[in-house]
Structure 1
Amino acid sequence: MSSTNPALKAWLRRTVLFALGVVVTIAIVRMMRSMDWESVGRAMSQLSWWHLLILLLVLLARQVANAAPLAYYIEGVSLYRATLNDLSATMLTAFAPPPSDVALRVSMFSSWGIRTPVAIAGTTMNAMTFFIVRFSAPLFGFILVLATGHELGFRWLDVISLLIAAALIGAVLIMTRSDSAAKALGEGCGRLVCRVKRSVSPAEWGQKCLNFQRELSSRFAYAFPRSLAVSYLMVFFDGLLLLLAMRFVGLSPQTLSVADIAVAFLFAFPLTAFPMSGMGVVDVAISVACIEVAGTDVVQEPVLAALIIWRVFNVAGPLLLGIVASALWKTTTRTKPAGLTEAS
């Protein structure tokens, strides 16, 4: 029975993902077929050059906030270099599978004189911080719903997202509390993973968590709260991009208020865990929420136009900026990157 469990779990996981993909695809196809594309085009034509400039400035602020935790977690890394690192890694993920982005990050940090273990620990905590913020974003949505008197509906399911965020925070606090706690947590996670993947060594996972704790412990109390704060600021800028796109295509506050758009955005934000920042899944969730609160299908076309603009900036924008960042990296060091070969 134990030998069939991994295969059964893998089959169930693939089945759930396939079913979810089918549901999302059907929803997207139905939405696309019902669209008046001339109206979408007219909504997008309302953009002027200064609208694009404002959106670009907000995007830059978003990307700096997104990269800032690296500067907090890794001593000796400036905000400028952290931003170059984050943009370059983001760009690479569009063309090469993980862990190519981690390898690039470490190589860049090493070229700036940062030891590989420190770079890996900082990069890991940067990712962990983002996941905590991603899954805790609906908390602000719940607050807005209560403050504005909206109905929760199926949004109460986002309590699951909050529980995930709480579990991640608990794991981080346990791991950074002491050597024994870090090692025990690593071994425990290793044993769980070992049930699915027999080649995993719980002892090795325990040692890796111990090494991670030792590299991070001196800066954790300083870096963790600041990283959470600046990551929430990144979420704010991402939501601001969406709000501005809505306004620029003609959706007035009388049709969709700031609170309406914020609630739709915050409850959909955990879905950015899907590939390409949840493109498709997140957009359908936001679109449905906006149409529901507006009480009319008339907003469907301008909402779609706003979502297209938003996606151009928050998905395609960082990829283009990443190309520039990779070129600028070469100007920040005269040494050959050695992140993959440097001894720890």
Structure 2
Amino acid sequence: MTSPATVPVPAPEPVPLRRRLLRAAGWLAVVAFAWWAVTRLAGAVDWDEVAAALRRLSWWALVPMVVLLLVRQTLNAAPMALYVPGLGLWHATQNDLSAHVVATFAPPPADLVLRVAQFRSWDVDPVRAMTGMTLNMATYYGVRVGAPVLGLAFLAADGIERRQWLFAGLCALATAALGVAVALILRGDAFAAAVGRAAGRAGRLVRRGVDPEAWAARVVQVRQTAAGDLRRGILRAVLALVVMLLVDASILLVALRAVGVGEATLPTLDVLGAFLLAYPLTILPMAGLGVVDALLVGGWTVAAGTEHEGAIVAATLAWRVVTIGGTLLLGTLALVAWRWRARRRPPADGTSYLQGVSG
């Protein structure tokens, strides 16, 4: 059996120059695609109007946006605290933020190595914690895919288009299928292995290095290790993530109001509903940067009028800066704070917390 000190997480290898260049090219491609999506779906944007709207964004508006960001990140980490005994909400948030920064700038599995090192430094069983992380990921994907169903509830007063019904219906079916799969996984090892193997085969279509048998073993381990934790924490975890989505949408709502897009122009329910309908697309790189933004800007411009397009684009840019840039800043602070404490409190045997995580 694997001991907490030797969790089989491979150590990150040095990144070749070619891979670094490809990564940089990928980032440039994302930025270029974002620009294309905004101009293609939202139309020709008057960037002078956008700049004027951004100048109307007072510094005080950043205060509630940052506070909401802190709440969002705390709620995002709440399932980990519920699924991992002894971790706690503070450490779960710190772990989530730190791993996000590492995953953004370093190749995998550097983020997993960091997570395991942090679990060890907090005297949390890394095996149990990694199982909780798997449960957290499954819960988040279920809520993410199911978000359009809640979005329809917000949009019901103004009428719902057929395509919105269709998209939300498909998302509801996907969420239900995921829920049924989780329920069956909890009933026995055989079905858990079958689900993991099927997921591994699907993953191998995208990434050749995926081992379906390893995935099967992982799902069985999750069932055996944390079935009780999942049953006890699933409802509270789902509730926390649903509130997290509403808080995320509220950051964008604050930005819209701060640049002059009022309630009469774009009602709050329309903002929340459209955001939740588009939320599954955040599965794309950089949280759907460009695609999600273009869909929101295009839809809201049609509803509010083209004279408000510049302000809507400005609010969307402010939301992205706060949620993407702010999260990276918080993650950097969380990582620096952990490393500082880790240096002051090294393991009793004198080793590093990073030692032993490569198996």
State the TM-score, normalizing by the size of structure 2.
Answer: 0.82
> Does 2:56 match 1:46?
yes
Deviates more, 1:303-312 or 1:171-180: 171-180
Indicate the residue corresponding to 1:123 in structure 2. Answer: 133
Contact 2:42 2:298 in 1 (8 A): no
Q: How far has the Cα of 1:343 moved from its partner?
A: 9.6
Q: How far has the Cα of 1:21 moved from its partner?
A: 11
> Does 2:335 match 1:317?
no
> Does 2:255 match 1:240?
no
Match of 1:112 among 122, 143, 159: 122
Contact 2:186 2:192 in 1 (8 A): yes
Indicate the residue corresponding to 2:193 in structure 1. Answer: 183
CA displacement 1:286-317 (0-9 Å, x = unmatched): 011101222x2111100000001100111111
Indicate the residue corresponding to 1:55 in structure 2. Answer: 65
What is the RMSD of the two structures over their aligned residues, measured on CA atoms?
A: 2.6
Indicate the residue corresponding to 1:269 in structure 2. Answer: 279
Q: How far has the Cα of 1:154 moved from its partner?
A: 2.4
**Superposed counterparts of 1:1-344, under 5 Å:** 26-30=36-40, 34-146=44-156, 148-155=157-164, 156-190=166-200, 202-294=212-304, 296-333=305-342, 334-336=345-347, 338=353, 341=356
The aligned amino acid for 2:230 is F
Distance 1:323 1:292, change over 3 A: same
Q: How far has the Cα of 1:46 moved from its partner?
A: 1.7
Deviates more, 1:232-241 or 1:181-190: 181-190
C-alpha separation between the residues in 2 aligned to 1:46 and 1:24? 24
The aligned amino acid for 1:206 is A
Q: How far has the Cα of 1:340 moved from its partner?
A: 6.5
**1:94 match: secondary structure:** helix
C-alpha separation between the residues in 1 aligned to 2:205 and 2:262? 53
The aligned amino acid for 1:94 is T
Deviates more, 1:195-204 or 1:27-36: 195-204
Indicate the residue corresponding to 2:3 in structure 1. Answer: none
Contact 1:118 1:215 in 2 (8 A): yes
In structure 2, runs of 5+ residues without a counterpart are 1-29
C-alpha separation between the residues in 2 aligned to 1:193 and 1:30? 31
The aligned amino acid for 1:307 is T
CA displacement 1:228-277 (0-9 Å, x = unmatched): 11111110110000100000000011100001111211111111001111
Distance 1:329 1:21, change over 3 A: closer
Q: How far has the Cα of 1:339 moved from its partner?
A: 6.0
In structure 1, runs of 5+ residues without a counterpart are 1-19
Distance 1:132 1:49, change over 3 A: same
The aligned amino acid for 1:273 is I
Contact 1:176 1:216 in 2 (8 A): no
Distance 1:96 1:193, change over 3 A: closer
Distance 1:183 1:261, change over 3 A: same
The aligned amino acid for 1:182 is A
User: Aligned pair count?
Assistant: 323
Indicate the residue corresponding to 1:8 in structure 2. Answer: none
CA displacement 1:159-193 (0-9 Å, x = unmatched): 22222222222222222233333233224444555
Q: How far has the Cα of 1:224 moved from its partner?
A: 1.3
Deviates more, 1:253-262 or 1:45-54: 45-54
C-alpha separation between the residues in 1 aligned to 2:95 and 2:200? 30
Contact 1:116 1:343 in 2 (8 A): no
Aligned identity (percent) is: 34
Distance 1:330 1:190, change over 3 A: closer
Indicate the residue corresponding to 1:6 in structure 2. Answer: none
C-alpha separation between the residues in 2 aligned to 1:343 and 1:274? 30
Q: How far has the Cα of 1:194 moved from its partner?
A: 6.5
